[in-house]
Structure 1
Amino acid sequence: MQNKINNIKEVSLRINLGTRPIFGHGKAKLLEAIEKFGSISAAARNINMSYRRAWLLTDSMNKNFVSPLIESSLGGKGGGGAKLTKEGKKVLKLFRDMELKAQNALVKEKINFSKLISNNPGNIED
């Protein structure tokens, strides 16, 4: 049973505006990778995301917030780059803080939920 409890690593958090997803775990991972690697393409490769998907998510994040979250420069001889803006760092920190609070608030529920999972659940897909 302890193994099942340990395998429930997280409860995903996603921020929606009505039915439209605004921000979630995937976008947070992309922002973290952009901050670490300094480019959208390197970030995408690191998190196993296509460059096109990363670019579309970057574009949507920049349009869905009051200020852009990512600042990018075009490639060329010296290569391009990308970095988080002050707003981007703030959004990422707030989201990670909310995730942590949600995880901590659900400890008891995760334990109770894990008790209901089969010892041999097979292929888990939702």
Structure 2
Amino acid sequence: MSNAPTSLKLKLQILCGDAIAMGPGKADLLDAISAEGSISGAGRRLGMSYRRAWQLVDLMNRCWSAPLVETSPGSARGGGARLTADGTEILSAYRALQAALEYRGAGPELTALEAKLRARPLRSQADRSELADED
């Protein structure tokens, strides 16, 4: 067993029926829309297609009581997108909940699990019996 620190990965998802209304990727998309001022720019920033970014925005806008992103139509200068007040509020609350869960997850329960966790997996289950034979 190893006392080496491990990484705890928590994936917080807020569901709307069977759909994911908010998760880490959608939160990152909202951050990118806020920074870039457009869905296409946010998609480029995150390495996703405009179509995929638009689908995620559309789903979020349909899941919450008010839209999270509003768009302006294209013109000679191009269109744009911005977070609504609700979008900013929901993103902030989601990030706060993420931080609280990560803080709580780093407590004594994780320490107890880490005490039993190997630094890396055995190559095979047979390695476990070979280790027992050496004792």
Q: Which amino acid aligns with 1:89?
A: T
1:50-71 deviations in Å (ceiling 9; x for gaps): 2111000101111111111001
Q: Is the 8 A contact 2:68 2:88 kept in 1?
A: yes
1:57-72 to 2 correspondence within 5 Å? 57-72=56-71
Equivalent in the alignment of 1:52: 51
Distance 1:79 1:103, change over 3 A: same
The total of aligned residue pairs comes to 120
Equivalent in the alignment of 1:119: 119
Measure the CA separation in 1 of the matches of 2:95 and 2:64: 17
1:2-28 deviations in Å (ceiling 9; x for gaps): 7642xx154111112343322111110
Calculate percent identity across the aligned residue pairs.
37
Q: Which amino acid aligns with 2:92?
A: K
Distance 1:121 1:60, change over 3 A: same
Q: CA RMSD in A?
A: 2.1
Q: Larger Rg: 1 or 2?
A: 2
Q: Which runs of 5+ in 1 are unaligned?
A: none
Give the TM-score taking structure 1 as reference length. Answer: 0.82
Distance 1:73 1:3, change over 3 A: farther
1:85-106 deviations in Å (ceiling 9; x for gaps): 0000000001001101111111
